[in-house]
Amino acid sequence: MIGVAVAGIVTVLLALLFRQQKPEIAMMLSLACCLFIFFCVLAKIRDVMDYIQSLADLIHVDALYMGVILKMIGITYISEFASAICKDAGYASIAGQIQVLAKLSILALGMPVLMAFLSTVEAFL
């Protein structure tokens, strides 16, 4: 975490130096740092996925549901990453559309789980 924080701070300072004279270099520095952080996050997501899998094995949850949860986590991270880059580049409207699509994707992904839950509740009634 310290390495990511230092890389972020150094990138911001360098981008501030280049912003006035070479804004395209500042933008490229920002994008490179975002990609670096994104790949660091991917490494941590693998650890989280392993913990979620061990939890699923422990409580005997259907693999379908765990797959849905992992897809939702992936959609969340990717959409946040993409929308933050768009906002930094000055395209807030595109960032907003990315976030709307992510929310709708998560909703659509969760509908089968909701339907299975409702049919289980109906069976008990």
**Above pLDDT 90, what percent of the chain?**
17
Q: Does residue 73 have a pLDDT over 80?
A: yes
| pLDDT tens digits along 32-71 | 888 888 888 888 878 887 887 787 778 777 777 778 888 8
The per-residue pLDDT for 22 is: 85
| Three-state secondary-structure class, residue 122 | helix
| pLDDT tens digits along 100-114 | 999 999 999 988 888
If we measure between CA atoms, which residue out of 40, 42, 31, 43 comes closest to residue 84?
31
In the numeric block, which tokens belong to residue 113? 């789980």
The per-residue pLDDT for 38 is: 81
For the segment 9-28, the average pLDDT, to the nearest whole number, is 84
What is the rounded CA–CA span in Å between residue 3 and residue 41?
A: 13
